[in-house]
Structure 1
Amino acid sequence: MDGVISINRGNVIDNGEPRYMLGRAPGGCNTMSPRLRCLLAYFACRRSYSNMAEPLVPLPVIEKLSSRVIRVLGGNPSKFTLQGTNTYIVGQGSQRLLIDTGEGKPEWIESLKSVLEEEDITIDKVLLTHWHHDHIQGVPDLLQYSPNTKVFKCDPHEDWLDIRDGQKFETEGATLHAFFCPGHTTDHMAFVLEEEDAMFTADNVLGQGTAVFEDLATYMKSLSSMSKQFGGRAYPGHGPVIKEGPAKILEYIKHRRQREEQVLDVLAKDKKGGWTSMDIVKVIYKDYPENLWEPAEKGVLQILDKLQNEGKVTYDKGKGTWALVGKSSL
């Protein structure tokens, strides 16, 4: 099983390095389909986030962010979770909602308990934004402490309840509207907090850096839709609060479009033998350290996959090269 990744619903069993599969798999990465290479590069990028991240803003483990939102960090800081997963207690009454549960670290449940006991409150419902382990694996600890809490998630496990697009969740002092926004994952949900005109963006939009995604075209559509759902701050899945949420989302969209134009500009140039995805990376990221090229290839592969689906570029599987439609390789 060495060097094999098995992917199934809700789980990733990683039996090898994605970078191994991308760079040293039998026949090389050019024998893989663009979709598979995009997926493998996605996981390689997650493992390499520390190479790309800006210095992290220090965040307290527990912080009251507004009169109805308390953030509790997941106790799992890492190269791709930043300061740790943000979990949010939402509401103003004795029963409140919880958004996400971290990845099951003892520090998280102890921090959560301390808030609940100090505030003399309970968690009536927990809303999970997506299937990634760093957002759902705290559920068992939560249910052990609070057995009557109901668990909600889009495309849920058997014992959990479903979340529908547009579904309303109410508690004293807070009304949340679920907003289906696939991109980071296929089951990704955000939540609009009506009373603050704010949004819990989960991992589609982060407090620092840029997010990773499974499908660029879907992600771009979701970002555009998300930007129109609220006008205030964004509470991200990782990192600090974003004061101007819609403006940050538009920055994300602009950044992705600029990268897309750069890829098209490179492909418009003649190159003997054609352009591989790494060739494109070496042009666009020529002023960046080489250790960033591998994670950067993930984004380039996603762009190429999107452009291929739009009929703008073609992929030569035999050569592992890309070209503009109507422009042949030399």
Structure 2
Amino acid sequence: MPSPSTKPQGFYSSAFWADYLAAQQSKLPKLGDVEHCGSSRVVRFLGGNPGHMQLQGTNTYLVGTGRSRILIDTGEGRPSWIMNLTAYLDDHDISISHVLLTHWHGDHTGGLDDLLLHDPDILVHKHQPDSGQHPLRDGQTFAAEGATLRVVLTPGHSTDHACFVLEEDNALFTGDAVLGHGYSVAEDLSGYMESLRLMRRLGCGIGYPGHGDLIRNLPRVLDMYIAQRDARERQVCAALALDQRPSAGRMSGLTVEDVGVRLYGEAARSSDAFDAALRPLLDQVLFMLADHGKVGSRLVDVGQNQTTRQWFVLK
């Protein structure tokens, strides 16, 4: 999910969008603040930060069965999270040896300072680490009694995103690459698609997402994610192909606004909705298709020292 510090803009700050998200959130299953989740090796601690973009809140996971365990993610920094976590550690005589961070977003790293105040000897690991943190390497393993975690680098949702395979259970901690409900967003769509396909090839059956409930059939959900994005790619190509007519001796093209109207109707002409939601989405798809050699574009002079980009399918 996006960082919670990001203030909604345009359409995403509208009353319509807020009402839609509130209705969606009301349908989510209730999750316990602290509970075993899917395996005796995993205890889930909710971050105490439910919201439209965070679903029931950020999931953080204590992994292992012994007195020294590994923590995945640290929530947003809400007092309830650190209180629940430290109470559990004290009640069960447990310590944390390592923290593994799925990515840099504040709703996954915000509780780190409070955790290190509780125990400054904990080692913190992240792909593209910050000062004082240790790097994650693809294929690197971390072991605690009863659990072995293997690092899988999965950039796309963010440049530093990583997932972790729980080898004993053939399960995957998916971070924000795959959620327990709905779909995630991508900073780099091309890289994200590669990461989704990599995750699918791992063959893990269970998913522990960064937000939402346990994913009990991860291959099916990954197939849905990949199919949904592949379908959008085909839709954009089809919209462009409809406009492949000779114009002034060359192929005509569509602007991103034209593509939006072709796919979503006249509602896409609403500037707030288009600029906040549809333009970033379509831009991602178009530039990814261009990277793959499927579409091309050119800048067209529209007068008054302004240009617009027209897109077309490459033959």
1:102 matches 2:75:
yes
- Match 1:83 to one of 42, 56, 70: 56
Equivalent of residue 59 in structure 1, options 12, 31, 35: 31
Identify which range, 217-226 or 309-318, moves more after superposition: 309-318
8 Å CA contact 2:47–2:59 kept in 1: the answer is yes
Moved more, 60-69 or 267-276: 267-276
TM-score (norm 1): 0.80
1:246 counterpart (183, 199, 219)? 219
Partner of 1:196: 169
Q: Secondary structure at the match of 2:80?
A: helix
Give me the whole-angstrom Cα distance separating, in 2, the residues matched to 1:287 and 1:102: 40
Letter in 1 for 2:35: E
SS of the residue corresponding to residue 212 of structure 1 reads: coil
The 1:145–1:288 alpha-carbon spacing in structure 2 relative to 1, beyond 3 Å, is farther
Task: Please give the alpha-carbon distance, in whole angstroms, between the structure 1 residues aligned to 2:84 and 2:115.
Answer: 11
Across the two proteins, how many residue pairs are aligned to each other? 290
* 8 Å CA contact retained: 2:166, 2:173: yes
Give the conservation status (yes or no) of the 8 Å contact 1:51–1:292.
no
Confirm or deny: 8 A CA contact 1:73 1:84 kept in the other structure: yes
Kept in 2: contact 1:276–1:320 (CA 8 A): yes
Gaps of 5+ in 2: 300-306
Q: Which ranges of structure 1 fall in alignment gaps of 5 or more residues? A: 1-10, 21-42
Which residue in the other structure is 1:73 paired with?
46
What is the identity percentage for the equivalent residue pairs of Structure 1 and Structure 2? 43
Instruction: Give the TM-score of the pair, scaled to structure 2.
Output: 0.84
Q: Does structure 2 retain, via aligned residues, the 8 Å contact 1:98–1:126?
A: yes
Does structure 2 conserve the Cα–Cα contact (< 8 Å) formed by 1:74 and 1:85?
yes
- Would you say the 8 A contact 2:10–2:273 is kept in 1? no
Distance 1:165 1:224 in 2: 16
* C-alpha distance in structure 2 between counterparts of 1:261 and 1:85, whole Å: 33
Please tell me whether Structure 1 or Structure 2 has the larger radius of gyration of its CA atoms: 2
SS in 1 for 2:308: coil
The offset of 1:278, in angstroms, is 3.0
**Superposition RMSD on alpha carbons, in Å?**
2.8
User: Retained in 2: the 8 A contact 1:50–1:79?
Assistant: no
Aligned partner of 1:147 in structure 2 is 120
Summarize the alignment of residues 134-173 of structure 1 with structure 2, pairs less than 5 Å apart: 134-173=107-146
Please name the residue that 2:259 is paired with.
280
* Counterparts of 1:72 and 1:285, CA distance in 2: 39
